[in-house]
Each structure stands twice: as C-alpha cells, then as structure tokens.
Chain A
C-alpha cells in the first residue's frame, strides 16, 4: 500500500512558545489504514493533525521545517479549499465547529462550499445520514442535541465532503460511553465498508485498539514509537513508562505473561471478547492437561 500522508523531518514551533510542538517527525500513513495516534496532553498530537490538513501553517504563525506530503503533494502547495477535499478534520469539541442553525444546514455547509450540485448533495445526504444515524436530528439546532449526537453531526458534516483521508482529533473526549461506542461504530463501518484512510487521535484506547491497524506514540513533540498494533502493544513496559494506559484486557494478559501464564508467542487480546475466549481456552486446556 502507498503512503497517503508522509512526514519527512517535519518540525513546527508556534511563535508564542519556546519549545517546538513537533520535532523531526518521520511518519507514513498508508492508504486504507486506520491509524491511532496516542500520547499525553501537550505532546503535539493536535499540531500533528492540523499539519495534515493545512490549518498549520495557513492559520497559525510559527516556524516550519521539513515536509508534509498529502497524496504525493506538499501541503504548502495546496490551496486550502483543495486540501480540505483530501483531508477531512473532525475537532475534539464538536460544538466549536458548528456554523449553522440546523443539523441539515451544518451537514450541507461543506458540500455547498465545494460547489456540488443539489442532486449530488442529496445523494451524499442519503449516504451520510443513515451512516451516522442523525436522521431524526436534521431539523434541530446542532448545539441543542446531546454530546454523542453532536459529535456524529460533526463527523457527518466532514464525511459528506467525502475526503479520502479522515483525521479525528480526540473525537470522544467529551462523550459518555454510549456516545463513544456509536462514534467508533461509524468509524468501523467506514474502515470495513468504504476502506477509508482514518487517523484517530484518542486517549481512550478501549474502542480504538480493536480497530487500529497501526499505532503511533507521540511524546514531547516526537514520535517515539510507530508500528502495527500488535507489535506496538508488545512494548507494554515502554508504553506505560510514557504514560500510555492500554485497555484493561491487554494489561491483564500482559501481567499473566509476566507471571508465565500466557505465552509470548500469542498476541495480547485487543477486546474483552477476545480475552474471554483466550482465557476460556487456557482454562479448558489446563483442565484437560
């Protein structure tokens, strides 16, 4: 698979800060992959996301070095309107990105900006509304629906522009568990049914890890670890040293492994269901043995 986003020795320092937000980033994101970006607060994750869709350097003052390529072209060479058709960005605070009076207006706003025909707008609405399950909300003001619904509206308004790459900056940080589950359900469908390239910046790993193909650890403005999800979480000690707390089920099996009850040859389970099945197999195997 080819890299749709490529960082080459990329650094960015905001004018108002002394320390660079990102330093010497080298990272490739492959087409069709779901990539999870994790790391503590102020590690540079949002700056990384903004660098992918051109908000940096277009909207912020700072010093930039190195390159960011989106679909083979340097970000600086894109017009902003052209770039936002390639990379859709969903912000962490859904309410902050609402610009319209009804959910329907909000979803069509981006499509109108792209100059799509009315027929095409209707066709895309028919696709995105059931996908994000916002049908009953269309006539309501976007800032009056629940937190989870707000984030699905924000997601729908970006998805409707059908960017081949979708970047989500902490999309579930303000949501309750049901809201989180619903947002990740949409991402699962996008990954499985539409083969979209998705970059998710997230603190809560419970829903991210089962879906992610690759994981990236950002810490103090540097990429400390980037790998496929399974080998990434094999470095459990390293991750925990850098304030990453993996899903409980992974941590439990990692502890079992340290105690010699879980073989190194098997990957750590990513979901509760997978973990339960492994444990059942181990218990049944133990009884038979």
Chain B
C-alpha cells in the first residue's frame, strides 16, 4: 500500500500510471468546474464521476464516511446563513414563516446552488489527497519548472505541518501528565489556557528551525545560490511524462475552455435552465411562482 496524504492506496492502483503533474493539473482544473456550473444536477453528476474515479483508483470508499458529518454540518450552516440569517427581502417570494422569520424561495435556491458547488470541489480535493503523496506535489511543481527554492519551501512547509502537529501532541500529553485536564471547562477558559500550548510550541519551533538550518548547511544547501553548480533533479528521473499524460492534460484544458464557452457563450449550465431548480420551484412555490 502507498501512504497518501489522506490514507492508503494499493501500489497497483491505475492512478499511479499517471504522472503527478496530471493529478495536480486535474485538481486545479476540475475544481474550477463547479465555479463555472450553476446547475446543481451537473455538479451532482461531477460528484458521481469523482466517486467512480475514487473506486477506479482503488481508494477505500468507506473512508468517505469521515466526511459525511462535515458535509451535513456545512449544508446546514449554508442553509441557515442564507435563510434564517439571510435578512428581510420583501421583493422575494416567502415560502413560509418560521417563528416570525420569513423563509424566501430565492434564498433557498441560492443555498442549494452554493452547497452543490462546494460539495464537488471537496470531492475533487478528497480524490487528489487520497491518491497523492506530498512528493507528487513537489514532482509536479518541479516538472512544471517551478524554481527549486519555491518547491523546497513548499516541501518544508508540508514537513513543518507534520512536525507542529507532532509537537502539539507531545506538549498536550506533557500537560495532561502534570494533571491539566480542560474537559468540561468553558470555551473562554480553554482559549485562555491555549497560551500554555503556544509558548512551548513556539520554543520547539525555534529550536527545530535551528536544527533544520544546520542540517541544510551541513549538506551543502544554500538559498543564496552559492553552489555555482547546476543542480540535477534525480527525483524527476523516476517519473516519465507519457503520451497518455499529455492527452489527459489536453482533454482537461479543452474541457475547461469548452465549459467556459458553454456557460458564458451558449448560456448552458445556468440556474435558470436547471431541472432541479424547476422541480424545487414546483415543490415550494407551486403555481404561485
């Protein structure tokens, strides 16, 4: 099994026949699609496609259960902020009144539209993070000729996130071992006590940055370009950009251009033409709309 950012994928997964750049490009391009498409059913279709791709890539689909509570909470928050907290709009059609708060049809439609845009974006991200490792991001960047210093900065940031999480866990265990238990305390109390974590974490971060800098210098790395030699990229020799990779990149690029044209040139994928919205209108407004 290959450990990815979000889990594990079998080594024989077909996703690994693709160059890492294709996977990063897929993430960048396909996550733009829901921003262009307004029609919820098309965004739902994208979710279905992502599920098929996850299954095809042999990602264990049961791990998606982890994201169900997040998705539901997000949906509820969006609905609340657009309806109950959406303000008073006499020009909108009032579907019903909830304890004196008018719930408008237009605000429900907006909430559904926004939610159905965010959800496929999350699925695209989950697909990418479930099938890629940190190394893939760096390889993609280096292959795209992003300067080494930039890619290295990204690598160090990714590395630092892991280290801070690890340090936080150590500090928390040390606090617990000395009898500090914030369970059952109020949120303001917990926030005040958070300083107890911040100070040792800062100290550890400073110490680690010193060690990290020593390690870089000891192995001949210099941000100032004093090496005076051309830096080879051994890692890139491990990956080959094949014809299939080129074809996929081309298809994704053409699809994005076609989508922009279809949406803004031909007026397709709009909210007005959406079957879901028509059904919603029929259900909530009936003949009144």
Query: Which residues of A line the B interface, CB within 8 A?
Result: 50, 53, 55, 58-59, 79-81, 84-85, 88-89, 91, 93, 96-102, 104-105, 108-118, 121-122, 139-141, 143-144, 157-158, 161
A121 to B217, CA, bound (A): 20
Shortest Cβ distance from B156 into A: residue: A99
| Cβ-defined contact, A97 with B135, below 8 A | no
| CB < 8 Å neighbour of A143 from B162, B211, B235 | B162
A58 to B217, CA, bound (A): 9
| Cβ-defined contact, B220 with A105, below 8 A | no
Interface contact tally, CB-CB below 8 A: 106
A113 to B216, CA, bound (A): 10
Q: Given A80-B217, A81-B227, A99-B159 in contact, is the A116-B232 Cβ separation under 8 Å?
A: yes
A96 to B159, CA, bound (A): 11
Residues in chain A near residue B134, CB distance under 8 A: 101, 141
| Cβ-defined contact, B232 with A84, below 8 A | no
| Cβ-defined contact, A161 with B162, below 8 A | no
Residues in chain B near residue A93, CB distance under 8 A: 211
B13 contacts A by Cβ under 8 Å: no
The main secondary structure of chain B at its interface with chain A is: helix
| Cβ-defined contact, A112 with B233, below 8 A | yes
Q: Given A55-B214, A98-B159 in contact, is the A161-B219 Cβ separation under 8 Å?
A: yes
A–B pairs, 6, beta carbons within 8 Å: A89-B218, A98-B159, A99-B156, A112-B233, A113-B219, A122-B234
B178 contacts A by Cβ under 8 Å: no
The main secondary structure of chain A at its interface with chain B is: helix
| Cβ-defined contact, B213 with A113, below 8 A | no
A105 to B231, CA, bound (A): 14
What sequence of 0s and 1s flags, for each residue 110-147 of chain B, a beta carbon within 8 Å of any chain A beta carbon? 00000000000000000000000111001000000000
Shortest Cβ distance from B220 into A: residue: A113
| Cβ-defined contact, A108 with B159, below 8 A | no
Looking at B158, B230, B231, the one whose CB has the most chain A CB atoms below 10 A away is: B231
Q: Given A101-B138, A115-B232 in contact, is the A96-B215 Cβ separation under 8 Å?
A: yes
Q: Given A80-B220, A98-B159 in contact, is the A91-B211 Cβ separation under 8 Å?
A: yes
| Cβ-defined contact, A91 with B215, below 8 A | yes
A12 to B37, CA, bound (A): 66
Residues in chain A near residue B2, CB distance under 8 A: 139
Q: Given A55-B217, A91-B214 in contact, is the A118-B135 Cβ separation under 8 Å?
A: no
Residues in chain B near residue A59, CB distance under 8 A: 213-214, 217
A53 to B229, CA, bound (A): 21
Q: Given A96-B211, A112-B233, A114-B229 in contact, is the A84-B159 Cβ separation under 8 Å?
A: no
Query: Which residues of B line the A interface, CB within 8 A?
Result: 2-3, 133-135, 138, 155-156, 158-159, 162, 208, 211-222, 226-227, 229-235, 237
Q: Given A96-B208, A115-B230, A121-B232 in contact, is the A101-B218 Cβ separation under 8 Å?
A: no
Can you name 17 extra interface pairs (CB under 8 A) apart from A99-B216, A101-B158, A158-B219? A55-B217, A80-B217, A80-B226, A84-B217, A89-B218, A96-B212, A96-B215, A97-B214, A99-B156, A105-B135, A113-B231, A115-B232, A116-B232, A118-B237, A121-B232, A140-B3, A143-B159
Residues in chain B near residue A98, CB distance under 8 A: 159, 215
A246 to B233, CA, bound (A): 47
A47 CB → nearest B CB, Å = 13
Residues in chain A near residue B219, CB distance under 8 A: 84, 99, 109-110, 113, 157-158, 161
| Cβ-defined contact, A112 with B234, below 8 A | yes
| Cβ-defined contact, B220 with A99, below 8 A | no
Shortest Cβ distance from A154 into B: residue: B215
| Cβ-defined contact, A81 with B135, below 8 A | no
B218 CB → nearest A CB, Å = 5
A188 CB → nearest B CB, Å = 23
A149 CB → nearest B CB, Å = 15
A113 to B232, CA, bound (A): 8
Shortest Cβ distance from B211 into A: residue: A96
A25 CB → nearest B CB, Å = 21
A252 CB → nearest B CB, Å = 39
| Cβ-defined contact, B231 with A115, below 8 A | yes
Shortest Cβ distance from B221 into A: residue: A113
| Cβ-defined contact, A81 with B159, below 8 A | no
Shortest Cβ distance from B148 into A: residue: A112
| Cβ-defined contact, B159 with A115, below 8 A | no
Residues in chain B near residue A96, CB distance under 8 A: 208, 211-212, 215
A268 CB → nearest B CB, Å = 36
Residues in chain B near residue A80, CB distance under 8 A: 217, 220, 222, 226
A262 to B234, CA, bound (A): 58
Residues in chain B near residue A88, CB distance under 8 A: 218
B153 CB → nearest A CB, Å = 12
Residues in chain A near residue B231, CB distance under 8 A: 112-113, 115
8 closest A-B pairs (Cβ-Cβ)?
A115-B229, A97-B215, A96-B211, A113-B220, A110-B219, A101-B135, A101-B134, A108-B234
Residues in chain A near residue B222, CB distance under 8 A: 80-81, 113
Q: Given A59-B217, A97-B218, A105-B135 in contact, is the A112-B155 Cβ separation under 8 Å?
A: no
